[in-house]
Structure 1
Amino acid sequence: MSSRLGFRFLNNTRFAFRNGSGPFRRQAGQGFRFQSSEAGAGEQQSTFQRMWNSPVGVKTVHFWAPVMKWALVIAGISDFQRPAEKLSLTQNMALMGTGAIWTRWCLIIKPRNVLLAAVNFFLGCVGVVQVSRIYMYNKSLENSPVEAAKDLEKEAVDSAKGVVTATEDAVKTAVEKTK
């Protein structure tokens, strides 16, 4: 399929180049020159103007989301100083999953947001490092990879049960208030 796509693109653009139609127009005494249809294309924009007018520029969420998300990466890096027994497995697994999923997504969406992909990549890396630290700590306690995996599973199940219990309590409280 990809070779067909390239062949179609070649055939469609060949006509534009031969006839000088579209943005590729012949100038008198010259070869082909690319001409932009934008007004003022001849004047140079400053770096600030290009950044401001970019589809992923300063005035868009595509810029500010990665800037704010760096706080999560910095917080994760600061947790490198904490002992492994005080780290939350579920939190760091969430960071790892978020980083992996959203890194891929940022490269698929239009406009492609490389800044957000970079911050999500580092967020995933922080999550991997922390989950590895927790795993190695649990492994050192039992000296058995099976026991360490069971401990990780038990911690994840316990935290999930805690969330379910808290949710059930909140629902009961809300139902009682409405009566």
Structure 2
Amino acid sequence: MNKEEVTRLIKNVSVDEKIKLKDIPEIDLYMDQVIQLFEANLSPLKRKEEDKILTKTMINNYAKANLLMSIKNKKYSKEHLILMSLIYDLKGSLSINDIKLLLNNIVEKYENKEDYDLRRLYESYLEDSLEDSARFKASVEKKVDTISKGGHEEFEKKFLLISSIISMSNMYRRMGELLIDEFFAKEKE
């Protein structure tokens, strides 16, 4: 494992792929159109070509779990798609119950016809994600430098890099769960 190999992988990792507000039409979409939009915008995130980004079953399950506001005439608004994009990003680390706790205030505001600017929140989320991506890439490069200086065999370097990244992922996930418990789950009690 050398720094050039990992740098190439870092450049190719699709952590910056998000559905941008400008990519979501202002008109309501049918389910098949929603799926096509997600596939078109997020397919670089697939690990394998046959993987699905979003399916009809997923969308129906999100609606049944009240992760989305009510759907009108089998059409999905820009706000529905924003929530689905957030769910897609969050479900890699959080349970559906945790995602529901996190999104519940937003969905309730829409159900109660309260004025809420989900687009502004999503735009901030996208900006934060770009900053997080840059920090992530720099962190991995720094980790490679540290591991490379450790005098380990080649397989040990690869093992240490992978296990370190997974360990950090677990720490961030666990911290996210604690924050949900502290700030959102207590609201429901």
Instruction: Please say whether Structure 1 and Structure 2 have the same fold, judged by a TM-score greater than 0.5.
Output: no
> TM-score, length-normalised on structure 2?
0.26
Higher relative contact order (CA 8 A, sep 6+): 2
> TM-score, length-normalised on structure 1?
0.27
Larger-Rg structure: 1
